[in-house]
């Protein structure tokens, strides 16, 4: 079956760095997405990886290893506004997104 695993919750300190891991198993693979979702709001797109390696976008970076079925989202210089849930989603061979349950990130001052 198809499955996405990511930690339920993580806590980090303002100004620090945090890495949120995601492992996936899908029927075929057309890319790995990371979305940010604040409580009560819809997800917003953060990143898309389809090739192995690290993609950097400002304070956020996303890494993919297709052979390992593994990705991570790296957040640097954490700010209080980064407190949110981070959703990992893999696209299968039918271009359907398979969603993880999300990682709730708590930022402490």
Partner 1 sequence: GAVVSQHPSWVICKSGTSVKIECRSLDFQATTMFWYRQFPKQSLMLMATSNEGSKATYEQGVEKDKFLINHASLTLSTLTVTSAHPEDSSFYICSAGWTKSSYEQYFGPGTRLTVT
Minimum CB separation of residue 13 from partner 1 in Å reads: 24
Encode the chain in three state secondary structure.
Answer: CCEEECCCEEEEECCCCEEEEEEEECCCCCCEEEEEECCCCCCEEEEEECCCEEEEECCEEEEEECCCCEEEEEECCCCHHHCEEEEEEEECCCCCEEECCCEEEEEEC
Among 18, 75, 78, 91, binds partner 1 (CB under 8 A): 91
User: Measured from the CB atom, is 10 or 76 closer to partner 1?
Assistant: 10
Give the count of residues interacting with partner 1 (CB under 8 A).
Answer: 20
Stretch that binds partner 1, among 16-24, 61-69, 72-80, 99-107 (CB under 8 A): 99-107
For partner 1, the binding residues in 25-64 under the rule CB under 8 A are: 30-31, 33, 40-45, 48
User: Measured from the CB atom, is 90 or 107 closer to partner 1?
Assistant: 90
d(CA 35, CA 50): 15
**Residue 11 binds partner 1 (CB under 8 A):** no
Beta-carbon count within 10 A of 36 CB:
20
Q: Which residues bind partner 1 (CB under 8 A)?
A: 4, 30-31, 33, 40-45, 48, 87, 91, 95-97, 99-102
């Amino acid at each position: 079956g198809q499955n996405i695993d990511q930690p339920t919750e993580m806590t980090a300190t303002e100004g620090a760095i945090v890495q949120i891991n995601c492992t996936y198993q899908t029927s075929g693979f057309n890319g790995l997405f990371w979305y940010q979702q604040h409580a009560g709001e819809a997800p917003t797109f953060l990143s898309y990886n389809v090739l192995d390696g690290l993609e950097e976008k400002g304070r956020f970076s996303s890494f993919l290893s297709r052979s390992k079925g593994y990705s991570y989202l790296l957040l640097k210089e954490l700010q209080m506004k980064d407190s949110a849930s981070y959703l990992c989603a893999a696209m299968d061979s039918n271009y359907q997104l398979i969603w993880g349950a999300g990682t709730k990130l708590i930022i402490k001052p």
